[in-house]
Amino acid sequence: MTSTVRILMSQQSIDRLGAAVSALMGQRPYQLISLEEAVATQRTDADVAFISREVTGASTKHEIHPALQKVYELLRMSSGLQWVHIHSAGADRQIYLDLQARGVKVLTSSGANAQVVASVALAGILALARRFPLLWAEQQARQWRPMLGERMPRDLPGQTATIVGWGPIGQKLGSLLQALGMHVVAVRQQLDTKPDQAQARVAMVTFADWHQVLPQTDWLVLACPLTHKTRQLVNAHALSLLPQGAHLINVARGEVVDEPALVAALQSGHLGGAFLDVFTHEPLPVDSALWAMPQVMVTPHAAGHSDGNEQRVGQMFLDNLRHWAGPDALTHGAA
């Protein structure tokens, strides 16, 4: 006899996805457990958990709100937990590392917000290339200063963007930048022996050789996961190899960058500017020098936020549940 599958998810997700879960599970017995009720009653018998966006809320991985901390403790106490689906593309929060260490599969929503993040990274490049921060400051000061002489922006066509990380975000951004006439270099773990037509138009290097492309890089774009290899990948040495006036775009993780080295490169004028959505500590401390730099754009880890993500993440969870439940559960329905 098939045992009942206990699925832990927020009440909001139950209300939104409950019917789809029912159709997907078919004749296989299951129970939807409200995360809010489970926390209140310390129920720890879930087999599967879905951590959606509203569960994480405004917490960061550095500053976890009490309500989310209770959810994390519940997951740690759920000894029968087999897998967890999370709304984020990365699984570098400590709770997910702890779960993986004990054998729990942590499935991410990588790709769900790829188009959104790529679009935001593109917006950052366009804004810095056209000196929007400077123009915005001058607007506030009611100053009319034509973009002539040294203020003249460079043409983007012909410039080189090196994208670190060639996953869904990097690939989408690469195609957007190529449409603008830019040269694209991709830094990835390993090279494809048989690249497809799109990849054949992109110069590919591995992390072992990535320093070689930095002297020709006008825009260094970080779109990689945080791993042992990428932690503080962009350090003082890497920054020094960039040409004078190069720009940094970070929509990856703050820890990929040596932040003090970045601040120094910006203050010295070696870097022309930066668009930063992620930081070593989040929220970015109020005393950080990055806040007041006129050539820096700071956003609150919001590059992936968009009102369509909820549906895409929910569908990814359903797809994973369908795969895990197996064909026998699908005899009488599908989501």
Element (H, E) at 259: helix 259-268
Vertex 64 angle, CA 63 and 67, to 5°? 150
* 253 carries an active-site annotation: yes
Q: What are phi and psi of 105, to 5 degrees?
A: -75, 130
In sequence order, what are the residues at sequence separation of 6 or more whose Cβ sits closer than 8 angstroms to the Cβ of residue 7?
A: 21, 30, 31, 32, 33, 46, 47, 48, 49, 50, 321
Query: β-pairing, 30-34 with 5-9?
Result: parallel
7 backbone dihedrals φ, ψ, rounded to 5° = -115, 120
DSSP string, 219-249: EEEE-----TTTTT-B-HHHHHHSPTTEEEE
Which tokens hold the place of 226? 């945080």
Which residue among the candidates 6, 85, 93, 253 is catalytic per the annotation?
253
- The catalytic residue among 6, 87, 301, 322 is 301
Catalytic residues: 253, 301
